[in-house]
Structure 1
């Protein structure tokens, strides 16, 4: 009971104590994170209270007169550990762990210090891919190819995208346009850009991934596919009527043969009937 009374008093006094500036801490999904407290020189800590303040206040860990406790019903139950230097460790960090933590420290004279830490959790960027969409319309000049490059990562949070040309050439506004906050790049390619490489980079606070592509190869591929489809249609237009005509001729020949065979059989039966003597 005395411990809970002390806890209530400390929490009340914490509202009146002047807090230091918030410290930013970065966490990675699936990995542990350490929340350190900066104890002033000569400040002998007797008690400490760790709280999670958002979205609702929860008690995470306590330290009273040399004894630590972390078995409180918070979202960190079973994942929290309080080290001897009062550092709070959170294991297997989740995206939902984003929020503000508060550490209240009390020394042997009853003086109070508070520390505020903001935890930002990120998922590592991975599985980056570029999709290519080409356009060779009537408005395009001879040999030109308009390409839309869409860069996207299937995993990762708070991701920003950027583009660069591998040769270091400047992305001129006349032939390059950005959409969707840089995730989509429109490029007007000419015959001189056959070997041009474009690199998309996806980055957040904990990771960075890049992928490089040669867009002109897709222009050539699209033209080849279009030509292939055109030749295939031509073959069908020529071969299909010929096939129908051949099938019709074969069918008519079979029918004609069958009719002649039928007439011959009927004539033979008639001759047989006339030649057979009739008994008296």
Structure 2
């Protein structure tokens, strides 16, 4: 028989509408903190004898049971803090787990173990990462000195961002991408002392991104100026033009390789047909 609907406590919602589209198992689930998402099997199994929802958090490697149920018995849950219940809902009808306002501490591996009436055990795992968005980076000019006899300046820039997790740093000189330096948040360059130079630091993680730009003026002792959205727009335009050129080249190459299609056969006149 299918899993029956049980009478749950007020903090456990059984309505399927609260959990409409579960995420696929056995793959990474990356979400920003404060958002809601749902975990569950792609298809609701039938003829269920029992099931267990378990979690192994990154902050606490000891696995624990969240919910467990056996046929002809009530739903049991583990002892959790009252604040956890406010953001953890469960739909027993579809075996779906809803995390409301998820926090980084909720990151870990969630698993649903379902035992069918024929003793077959099916396990669905979800590797969940909840990340805080990155903050706007602080881009600083640490050093700016003259390189003797070369007409160039040695500059050292430092980029730091608060919050977030799994942060990646990307540097741009004007609209040109700079290969990642040895220290991803610190950049050392030699620049023309008589030119104007714009440097942009972009910080990102799988759920967010932010940037900051500095303009270095002429002369090795000039004070840098922070810039707004213009450098980022320049970078986006350059990337789009590069992508468009690549796609155009691929289309032309494919068109050149495609053999010409034979034209329609000429129809015979009545006399030729006879």
Partner of 2:213: 212
Shift in alpha-carbon separation, 1:66–1:154, aligned structure 2, 3 A = farther
> What is the Cα deviation at residue 57 of structure 1?
1.9
**Distance verdict in 2 for CA 1:220–1:152, change over 3 Å:** same
Alignment of 1:22 with 2:30, yes or no, is no
CA contact (8 A) 2:69 2:76 kept: no
For structure 1, which runs of at least 5 residues remain unmatched after alignment? 1-20, 224-280
Task: Say which SS state the counterpart of residue 136 (structure 1) adopts.
Answer: strand
In the TM superposition, residue 183 of structure 1 has moved relative to its aligned partner by: 1.0
Q: In structure 2, do the counterparts of structure 1 residues 25 and 222 end up closer, same or farther at CA, with 3 Å as the change threshold?
A: closer
Q: Quote the residue 1:53 is aligned against.
A: 56
Q: Is the 8 A contact 2:157 2:187 kept in 1?
A: yes
Aligned with residue 62 of structure 1, among 65, 68, 76: 68
Equivalent residue for 1:79?
Answer: 87
SS in structure 2 opposite 1:135? Answer: strand
Q: 1:134 to 1:57 in 2, by over 3 A?
A: closer
Distance 1:188 1:107 in 2: 67
Alignment CA distance shift 1:203-1:99 (3 Å) = same
Residue 193 (structure 1) aligned to one of 192, 195, 216? 195
C-alpha distance after superposition, 1:216-265 (max 9, x if no partner): 37945359xxxxxxxxxxxxxxxxxxxxxxxxxxxxxxxxxxxxxxxxxx
Indicate how the Cα distance of structure 1 residues 70 and 216 shifts in structure 2: closer, same or farther if over 3 A, else same: farther
TM-score normalized by structure 1? Answer: 0.59
Judge conservation of contact 2:113–2:122 (CA < 8 Å) in 1.
yes
Instruction: Measure how far apart 1:29 and its partner are.
Output: 2.1
Structure 1 segments (4+ residues) deviating >6 Å: none
Work out which of the residue numbers 133, 158, 174 in structure 2 matches 1:166.
Answer: 174
TM-score (norm 2): 0.60
Partner of 1:115: 124
- SS at 1:96 equivalent: helix
What is the CA-CA distance between 1:150 and the residue it aligns to? 0.7
SS for the counterpart of 1:193 is coil
Q: Which has the higher helix share?
A: 1
5+ residue gaps, structure 2, are 1-24, 225-274
Hey, what's the Cα distance between the residues in 1 that align with 2:52 and 2:28? 19
Structure ID, larger Rg: 1
Q: Deviations over 1:55-111 (max 9, x none)?
A: 112111234459874742146444311123212112232222222121011234343
Q: What's the offset of the Cα at 1:166?
A: 2.2
Given candidates 34, 37, 47, the residue that maps to 1:33 is 37
How many residues matched? 195
Identify, as 1 or 2, the structure richer in strand: 2
Q: CA-atom RMSD, angstroms?
A: 3.2
